[in-house]
Protein backbone atom coordinates (compact mmCIF):
# COMPACT_ATOMS: atom_id res chain seq x y z
CA UNK A 1 0.00 0.00 0.00
CA UNK A 2 1.35 3.43 -0.87
CA UNK A 3 2.32 5.76 1.94
CA UNK A 4 -0.18 8.31 0.62
CA UNK A 5 -2.96 5.96 1.68
CA UNK A 6 -2.06 6.19 5.37
CA UNK A 7 -4.95 7.34 7.49
CA UNK A 8 -4.15 9.25 10.67
CA UNK A 9 -6.01 7.73 13.59
CA UNK A 10 -7.60 11.02 14.73
CA UNK A 11 -11.06 10.11 13.50
CA UNK A 12 -11.25 6.82 15.36
CA UNK A 13 -13.99 8.01 17.67
CA UNK A 14 -16.38 8.50 14.75
CA UNK A 15 -16.64 4.73 14.20
CA UNK A 16 -17.68 3.82 17.72
CA UNK A 17 -20.94 2.17 18.70
CA UNK A 18 -23.47 4.38 20.49
CA UNK A 19 -23.02 2.24 23.60
CA UNK A 20 -19.28 2.89 23.63
CA UNK A 21 -19.74 6.61 22.96
CA UNK A 22 -22.13 6.84 25.91
CA UNK A 23 -19.71 4.99 28.18
CA UNK A 24 -16.82 7.25 27.24
CA UNK A 25 -18.67 10.20 28.75
CA UNK A 26 -18.21 8.69 32.21
CA UNK A 27 -14.47 7.98 31.93
CA UNK A 28 -11.65 10.35 32.97
CA UNK A 29 -10.20 11.88 29.83
CA UNK A 30 -6.80 13.30 28.87
CA UNK A 31 -5.07 14.48 25.74
CA UNK A 32 -4.01 11.48 23.65
CA UNK A 33 -0.57 10.82 22.18
CA UNK A 34 -1.84 9.63 18.84
CA UNK A 35 -5.55 10.35 18.97
CA UNK A 36 -7.22 13.50 20.24
CA UNK A 37 -8.09 11.93 23.58
CA UNK A 38 -7.36 8.94 25.73
CA UNK A 39 -9.57 7.59 28.49
CA UNK A 40 -9.06 5.83 31.80
CA UNK A 41 -10.83 2.52 31.44
CA UNK A 42 -10.67 -0.21 34.11
CA UNK A 43 -7.71 1.63 35.64
CA UNK A 44 -5.59 2.11 32.53
CA UNK A 45 -5.31 4.67 29.76
CA UNK A 46 -6.36 3.85 26.23
CA UNK A 47 -7.90 5.18 23.08
CA UNK A 48 -11.63 5.05 22.44
CA UNK A 49 -11.37 2.41 19.69
CA UNK A 50 -9.26 0.24 21.97
CA UNK A 51 -11.91 0.41 24.69
CA UNK A 52 -14.55 -0.79 22.25
CA UNK A 53 -12.34 -3.72 21.16
CA UNK A 54 -11.39 -4.64 24.70
CA UNK A 55 -15.04 -4.72 25.76
CA UNK A 56 -15.84 -6.99 22.78
CA UNK A 57 -12.90 -9.22 23.72
CA UNK A 58 -14.02 -9.38 27.36
CA UNK A 59 -17.59 -10.25 26.37
CA UNK A 60 -16.81 -12.88 23.75
CA UNK A 61 -13.34 -14.41 23.95
CA UNK A 62 -13.27 -17.93 25.40
CA UNK A 63 -9.78 -18.88 26.45
CA UNK A 64 -8.51 -22.45 26.14
CA UNK A 65 -5.93 -23.97 28.44
CA UNK A 66 -3.76 -24.59 25.40
CA UNK A 67 -3.70 -20.91 24.36
CA UNK A 68 -0.53 -18.87 24.48
CA UNK A 69 -0.85 -15.15 25.19
CA UNK A 70 2.07 -12.81 24.51
CA UNK A 71 1.66 -9.66 26.56
CA UNK A 72 3.50 -6.37 26.84
CA UNK A 73 3.11 -2.66 27.22
CA UNK A 74 3.80 -1.06 23.81
CA UNK A 75 7.41 -0.65 22.67
CA UNK A 76 8.83 -3.26 25.03
CA UNK A 77 9.82 -5.78 22.37
CA UNK A 78 6.40 -7.15 21.45
CA UNK A 79 7.36 -7.79 17.82
CA UNK A 80 10.46 -9.72 18.87
CA UNK A 81 8.55 -11.79 21.43
CA UNK A 82 5.90 -12.68 18.84
CA UNK A 83 8.55 -13.81 16.37
CA UNK A 84 10.36 -15.93 18.96
CA UNK A 85 7.25 -17.61 20.37
CA UNK A 86 5.84 -18.29 16.91
CA UNK A 87 9.14 -19.83 15.81
CA UNK A 88 9.41 -21.95 18.96
CA UNK A 89 5.94 -23.51 18.98
CA UNK A 90 5.82 -24.01 15.21
CA UNK A 91 9.36 -25.25 14.69
CA UNK A 92 8.26 -28.69 13.54
CA UNK A 93 5.89 -27.25 10.94
CA UNK A 94 8.28 -24.95 9.08
CA UNK A 95 11.87 -25.11 7.95
CA UNK A 96 14.01 -22.05 8.58
CA UNK A 97 14.61 -21.57 4.84
CA UNK A 98 10.93 -21.17 3.97
CA UNK A 99 9.76 -19.83 7.31
CA UNK A 100 6.63 -17.64 7.44
CA UNK A 101 8.62 -15.09 9.43
CA UNK A 102 10.62 -14.40 6.27
CA UNK A 103 7.52 -13.25 4.41
CA UNK A 104 5.12 -12.05 7.13
CA UNK A 105 5.43 -9.44 9.81
CA UNK A 106 5.21 -11.11 13.27
CA UNK A 107 2.05 -9.12 14.04
CA UNK A 108 0.29 -10.84 11.16
CA UNK A 109 1.30 -14.28 12.43
CA UNK A 110 0.35 -13.54 16.04
CA UNK A 111 -2.60 -11.16 15.94
CA UNK A 112 -3.43 -8.67 18.63
CA UNK A 113 -6.69 -9.36 20.46
CA UNK A 114 -7.53 -5.67 20.73
CA UNK A 115 -6.08 -4.21 17.52
CA UNK A 116 -6.94 -6.97 15.14
CA UNK A 117 -9.27 -9.76 16.24
CA UNK A 118 -11.86 -7.76 18.17
CA UNK A 119 -11.25 -4.40 16.45
CA UNK A 120 -14.08 -2.50 14.74
CA UNK A 121 -16.74 -4.44 16.63
CA UNK A 122 -16.00 -7.63 14.72
CA UNK A 123 -16.15 -11.08 16.25
CA UNK A 124 -13.43 -13.34 14.89
CA UNK A 125 -13.80 -16.97 13.91
CA UNK A 126 -11.01 -18.55 15.92
CA UNK A 127 -11.93 -22.13 15.03
CA UNK A 128 -9.46 -22.16 12.13
CA UNK A 129 -6.47 -21.26 14.32
CA UNK A 130 -3.84 -23.98 14.67
CA UNK A 131 -3.21 -25.18 18.24
CA UNK A 132 -1.71 -23.81 20.32
CA UNK A 133 -3.45 -20.56 19.42
CA UNK A 134 -1.08 -17.62 19.78
CA UNK A 135 -2.44 -14.18 20.63
CA UNK A 136 -0.79 -10.87 21.36
CA UNK A 137 -2.11 -8.21 23.69
CA UNK A 138 -1.30 -4.99 25.50
CA UNK A 139 -4.26 -5.40 27.86
CA UNK A 140 -3.19 -5.24 31.55
CA UNK A 141 -3.44 -8.47 33.52
CA UNK A 142 -6.53 -7.57 35.63
CA UNK A 143 -8.58 -6.93 32.46
CA UNK A 144 -7.75 -10.19 30.69
CA UNK A 145 -11.24 -11.69 31.08
CA UNK A 146 -11.44 -15.47 30.65
CA UNK A 147 -7.67 -15.68 30.11
CA UNK A 148 -7.25 -15.14 33.84
CA UNK A 149 -9.53 -18.05 34.65
CA UNK A 150 -8.00 -20.54 32.21
CA UNK A 151 -4.68 -22.30 32.60
CA UNK A 152 -3.31 -20.89 29.37
CA UNK A 153 0.28 -19.69 29.27
CA UNK A 154 1.17 -16.01 29.31
CA UNK A 155 4.59 -14.70 28.32
CA UNK A 156 5.20 -11.08 29.29
CA UNK A 157 8.06 -9.01 27.95
CA UNK A 158 9.20 -6.07 30.04
CA UNK A 159 11.69 -3.38 29.06
CA UNK A 160 13.33 -0.69 31.17
CA UNK A 161 11.09 2.41 31.29
CA UNK A 162 13.82 4.77 30.00
CA UNK A 163 14.22 2.96 26.69
CA UNK A 164 10.51 2.15 26.50
CA UNK A 165 9.67 5.83 26.77
CA UNK A 166 12.16 6.87 24.06
CA UNK A 167 10.95 4.08 21.78
CA UNK A 168 7.31 5.08 22.36
CA UNK A 169 7.98 8.73 21.69
CA UNK A 170 9.72 7.99 18.39
CA UNK A 171 7.10 5.50 17.28
CA UNK A 172 4.04 7.57 18.05
CA UNK A 173 5.48 10.64 16.38
CA UNK A 174 6.15 8.60 13.25
CA UNK A 175 2.41 7.91 13.12
CA UNK A 176 1.55 11.63 13.22
CA UNK A 177 4.31 13.51 11.43
CA UNK A 178 2.07 16.53 10.89
CA UNK A 179 1.76 17.26 14.64
CA UNK A 180 4.61 15.67 16.59
CA UNK A 181 4.58 15.72 20.37
CA UNK A 182 7.63 17.29 22.04
CA UNK A 183 9.80 14.97 24.10
CA UNK A 184 9.19 17.15 27.16
CA UNK A 185 5.42 16.86 26.90
CA UNK A 186 5.53 13.13 26.18
CA UNK A 187 7.90 12.57 29.07
CA UNK A 188 5.69 14.47 31.50
CA UNK A 189 2.69 12.35 30.51
CA UNK A 190 4.73 9.14 30.72
CA UNK A 191 5.91 9.97 34.25
CA UNK A 192 2.30 10.68 35.26
CA UNK A 193 1.33 7.27 33.90
CA UNK A 194 -0.74 8.77 31.06
CA UNK A 195 0.42 6.52 28.28
CA UNK A 196 -1.34 3.82 26.28
CA UNK A 197 -2.15 0.86 28.60
CA UNK A 198 -0.36 2.65 31.43
CA UNK A 199 0.50 3.64 34.04
CA UNK A 200 3.49 1.55 33.00
CA UNK A 201 4.22 0.54 36.59
CA UNK A 202 0.69 -0.87 37.06
CA UNK A 203 1.00 -2.80 33.81
CA UNK A 204 4.34 -4.32 34.82
CA UNK A 205 3.27 -5.05 38.38
CA UNK A 206 0.11 -6.87 37.30
CA UNK A 207 2.10 -9.42 35.30
CA UNK A 208 5.09 -9.41 37.66
CA UNK A 209 3.00 -10.37 40.69
CA UNK A 210 1.16 -13.06 38.75
CA UNK A 211 4.48 -14.47 37.52
CA UNK A 212 5.64 -14.73 41.13
CA UNK A 213 2.49 -16.38 42.42
CA UNK A 214 1.87 -18.58 39.36
CA UNK A 215 5.21 -19.14 37.63
CA UNK A 216 3.72 -22.07 35.72
CA UNK A 217 1.23 -19.67 34.15
CA UNK A 218 3.11 -16.39 33.61
CA UNK A 219 6.68 -16.19 32.34
CA UNK A 220 8.15 -12.74 32.91
CA UNK A 221 10.96 -11.92 30.48
CA UNK A 222 13.15 -8.83 30.41
CA UNK A 223 14.18 -7.31 27.09
CA UNK A 224 17.66 -6.45 28.35
CA UNK A 225 18.34 -10.01 29.54
CA UNK A 226 17.12 -11.35 26.22
CA UNK A 227 19.58 -9.12 24.37
CA UNK A 228 22.38 -10.59 26.46
CA UNK A 229 21.97 -14.32 25.99
CA UNK A 230 19.90 -17.08 24.46
CA UNK A 231 18.76 -18.62 27.71
CA UNK A 232 15.38 -16.89 27.39
CA UNK A 233 14.61 -19.02 24.35
CA UNK A 234 15.32 -22.26 26.20
CA UNK A 235 13.26 -21.02 29.16
CA UNK A 236 10.38 -19.95 26.97
CA UNK A 237 10.34 -23.24 25.06
CA UNK A 238 10.27 -25.19 28.33
CA UNK A 239 7.57 -22.92 29.80
CA UNK A 240 5.43 -23.37 26.67
CA UNK A 241 5.86 -27.14 26.97
CA UNK A 242 7.88 -27.29 23.74
CA UNK A 243 11.32 -27.88 25.27
CA UNK A 244 14.32 -28.22 23.00
CA UNK A 245 15.61 -31.78 22.81
CA UNK A 246 19.25 -32.64 23.25
CA UNK A 247 19.44 -33.33 19.55
CA UNK A 248 17.96 -29.95 18.69
CA UNK A 249 20.45 -28.28 20.99
CA UNK A 250 23.31 -30.19 19.37
CA UNK A 251 22.03 -29.28 15.90
CA UNK A 252 21.97 -25.59 16.72
CA UNK A 253 18.19 -25.12 16.51
CA UNK A 254 18.22 -22.53 19.31
CA UNK A 255 20.82 -20.44 17.48
CA UNK A 256 18.89 -20.77 14.21
CA UNK A 257 15.71 -19.41 15.79
CA UNK A 258 17.66 -16.64 17.49
CA UNK A 259 19.15 -15.61 14.18
CA UNK A 260 15.85 -15.79 12.31
CA UNK A 261 14.21 -13.51 14.90
CA UNK A 262 17.16 -11.21 15.43
CA UNK A 263 16.81 -7.49 14.87
CA UNK A 264 19.37 -7.55 12.08
CA UNK A 265 17.57 -10.29 10.17
CA UNK A 266 14.07 -8.95 10.65
CA UNK A 267 14.89 -5.34 9.88
CA UNK A 268 16.34 -6.31 6.49
CA UNK A 269 13.41 -8.41 5.29
CA UNK A 270 11.39 -6.89 2.47
CA UNK A 271 8.17 -7.57 4.32
CA UNK A 272 9.39 -5.47 7.24
CA UNK A 273 10.86 -2.70 5.10
CA UNK A 274 7.61 -2.04 3.27
CA UNK A 275 3.91 -2.10 3.99
CA UNK A 276 1.86 -0.69 6.82
CA UNK A 277 1.02 -1.89 10.26
CA UNK A 278 -2.18 -1.20 12.22
CA UNK A 279 -3.46 1.15 9.51
CA UNK A 280 -1.34 4.20 10.32
CA UNK A 281 2.26 3.04 10.78
CA UNK A 282 4.92 1.94 8.37
CA UNK A 283 6.12 -1.58 9.29
CA UNK A 284 9.70 -0.38 9.24
CA UNK A 285 9.00 1.89 12.22
CA UNK A 286 8.76 -1.29 14.34
CA UNK A 287 12.49 -1.78 13.80
CA UNK A 288 14.37 1.34 14.92
CA UNK A 289 17.59 0.74 16.89
CA UNK A 290 16.89 -2.08 19.38
CA UNK A 291 19.57 -0.91 21.77
CA UNK A 292 19.77 -1.01 25.53
CA UNK A 293 20.58 2.47 26.85
CA UNK A 294 19.68 4.58 23.80
CA UNK A 295 17.80 6.86 26.22
CA UNK A 296 21.10 8.55 27.17
CA UNK A 297 20.90 10.31 23.79
CA UNK A 298 17.51 11.86 24.57
CA UNK A 299 16.91 12.44 28.29
CA UNK A 300 18.34 15.34 30.28
CA UNK A 301 19.77 14.74 33.78
CA UNK A 302 16.57 16.25 35.22
CA UNK A 303 14.41 13.85 33.27
CA UNK A 304 16.54 10.91 34.39
CA UNK A 305 16.21 12.03 38.00
CA UNK A 306 12.44 12.36 37.69
CA UNK A 307 11.85 8.97 36.04
CA UNK A 308 14.24 7.27 38.47
CA UNK A 309 12.14 8.67 41.32
CA UNK A 310 8.91 7.44 39.73
CA UNK A 311 10.40 3.97 39.31
CA UNK A 312 11.61 3.90 42.90
CA UNK A 313 8.29 5.14 44.28
CA UNK A 314 6.12 2.85 42.18
CA UNK A 315 8.22 -0.27 41.76
CA UNK A 316 10.69 -0.11 44.67
CA UNK A 317 10.07 -3.04 46.99
CA UNK A 318 8.45 -5.14 44.26
CA UNK A 319 11.68 -6.92 43.44
CA UNK A 320 11.43 -5.78 39.82
CA UNK A 321 14.73 -4.30 38.68
CA UNK A 322 15.97 -3.08 35.31
CA UNK A 323 19.22 -3.00 33.46
CA UNK A 324 19.37 0.45 31.87
CA UNK A 325 22.81 0.52 30.20
CA UNK A 326 24.21 -1.87 27.63
P1 LIG B 1 13.68 0.89 19.67
O2 LIG B 1 12.65 1.89 19.33
O3 LIG B 1 14.41 1.23 20.94
O4 LIG B 1 14.62 0.60 18.58
P5 LIG B 1 7.50 -3.28 20.09
O6 LIG B 1 7.78 -4.46 19.24
O7 LIG B 1 6.90 -3.61 21.42
O8 LIG B 1 6.76 -2.24 19.35
O9 LIG B 1 8.93 -2.67 20.50
C10 LIG B 1 9.69 -2.01 19.55
C11 LIG B 1 11.13 -1.98 20.01
O12 LIG B 1 11.68 -3.29 19.86
C13 LIG B 1 11.95 -1.06 19.14
O14 LIG B 1 12.96 -0.50 19.98
C15 LIG B 1 12.52 -2.02 18.11
O16 LIG B 1 13.66 -1.56 17.45
C17 LIG B 1 12.80 -3.24 18.98
N18 LIG B 1 12.82 -4.49 18.19
C19 LIG B 1 12.07 -4.82 17.12
N20 LIG B 1 12.40 -6.02 16.66
C21 LIG B 1 13.38 -6.49 17.46
C22 LIG B 1 14.13 -7.70 17.47
N23 LIG B 1 13.96 -8.65 16.57
N24 LIG B 1 15.05 -7.85 18.46
C25 LIG B 1 15.25 -6.89 19.38
N26 LIG B 1 14.57 -5.73 19.41
C27 LIG B 1 13.65 -5.52 18.46
Position in ligand 1 atom list of the atom nearest CA 171:
2
Report the distance separating Cα 215 and Cα 208, nearest Å.
Answer: 10
Backbone angles phi, psi at 124, to 5 degrees: -75, 155
Rounded to the nearest whole angstrom, what is the distance from the C-alpha of residue 287 to the centroid of ligand 1?
5
Instruction: Tell me the CB-side half-sphere exposure of residue 57, using CA atoms within 13 A.
Output: 26
Q: Which atom of ligand 1 is nearest to the CA of 294?
A: 3
Tell me the pLDDT tens digit for each residue of 139-191: 999 999 999 999 999 999 999 999 999 999 999 998 787 889 999 999 999 99
Q: Is 174 strand, coil or helix?
A: helix
Distance between Cα 200 and ligand 1 center (Å): 17
Residue 3 has pLDDT above 90, yes or no: no
CA of 74 to the centre of ligand 1 (A): 10
Statement: residue 8 has pLDDT above 80: no
The answer to whether 220 and 158 have CB atoms below 8 angstroms apart is yes
List, for residues 22-57, the tens digit of each pLDDT value: 999 999 999 999 889 999 999 999 999 999 999 999
Nearest atom in ligand 1 to the alpha carbon of residue 262 is 23
Query: What is the pTM assigned to this prediction?
Result: 0.96
Ligand 1 center–CA 87 separation, angstroms: 17
What confidence tens digit (pLDDT) does each residue in 82-104 have? 999 999 999 999 999 999 999 99
Q: Give yes or no for a contact between 27 and 36, defined as CB atoms under 8 angstroms apart.
A: no
Query: How open is the CA angle 238-261-240, to the nearest 5 degrees?
Result: 15
Residue bearing the CA closest to ligand 1, atom 23: 263
Average pLDDT, the chain: 93
Task: Give the model's confidence band at 14: pLDDT under 50 very low, under 70 low, under 90 confident, else very high.
Answer: confident
Residue 138 designated active-site: yes
pLDDT band at residue 116 using 50, 70 and 90 as cut-offs:
very high
pLDDT-derived band at 4, boundaries 50, 70, 90? very low
pLDDT of residue 12: 64
Taking the C-alpha atoms of residue 158 and residue 287, their distance in angstroms, rounded to an integer, is 17
Range of weakest confidence among 114-123, 183-192, 272-281, 292-301? 272-281
Position in ligand 1 atom list of the atom nearest CA 287? 16
- How many angstroms separate the alpha carbon of residue 136 from the centre of ligand 1? 15
- Indicate which residue of 11, 99, 107, 138 is catalytic: 138
| Homologous superfamily of the 36-315 domain (CATH) | P-loop containing nucleotide triphosphate hydrolases (3.40.50.300)
d(CA 143, CA 127): 23
State in Å: Cα 78 to ligand 1 middle: 7
What confidence score (pLDDT) does residue 37 get?
Answer: 94
Q: How confident is the model at residue 15 (pLDDT cuts 50, 70, 90)?
A: confident
Q: Which residue has a Cα nearest atom 17 of ligand 1?
A: 290
Percent residues over pLDDT 90 in the chain: 88
Determine the residue of 72, 79, 294, 324 to mutate for testing ligand 1's pocket, defined as the one with the most ligand atoms within 8 A of the Cβ atom: 79
* Torsions phi, psi for 9 (to 5 deg): -85, 10
pLDDT at residue 279 is higher than 80: no
Which amino acids bring their CB within 6 angstroms of ligand 1?
Answer: 72, 74-80, 163, 167, 170, 261-263, 266, 286-290, 294
What residues does 135 pair with on adjacent strands?
69
Pocket test for ligand 1, best of 33, 72, 75, 204 (most atoms within 8 A of CB): 75
77, 99, 165, 299, best to mutate for ligand 1 pocket (most atoms within 8 Å of CB): 77
Reported as a single tens digit per residue, the pLDDT across 315-325 is 999 999 999 99
Q: Which of 72, 86, 228, 286 to mutate to test the pocket of ligand 1 (most atoms within 8 A of CB)?
A: 286
Give the max Cα distance, the chain.
59
Sheet of 153-158, strands arranged across:
134-137, 68-72, 153-158, 218-222
Region 74-81 average pLDDT: 98
What pLDDT band is residue 281 in, cutting at 50, 70 and 90? confident
Average pLDDT estimate for 292-296: 98
Per-residue pLDDT, averaged over 54-77, amounts to 97
Instruction: Give 117-139 pLDDT, tens digit per residue.
Output: 999 889 999 999 999 999 999 99
Tell how far the Cα of 223 is from the centroid of ligand 1, in angstroms: 9
Q: Where are the domains of the chain?
A: 36-315
Amino acid sequence: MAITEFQPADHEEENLSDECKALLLSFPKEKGWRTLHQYKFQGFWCQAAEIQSIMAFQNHFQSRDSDVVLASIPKSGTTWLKALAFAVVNRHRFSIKSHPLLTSNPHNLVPFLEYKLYANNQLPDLSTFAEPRLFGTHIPYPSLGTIKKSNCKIVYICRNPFDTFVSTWHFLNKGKPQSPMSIEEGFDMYCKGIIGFGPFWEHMLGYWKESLSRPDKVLFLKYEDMKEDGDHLRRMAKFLEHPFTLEEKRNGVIEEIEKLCSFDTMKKLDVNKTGIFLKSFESKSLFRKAEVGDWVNYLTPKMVERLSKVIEERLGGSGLRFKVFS
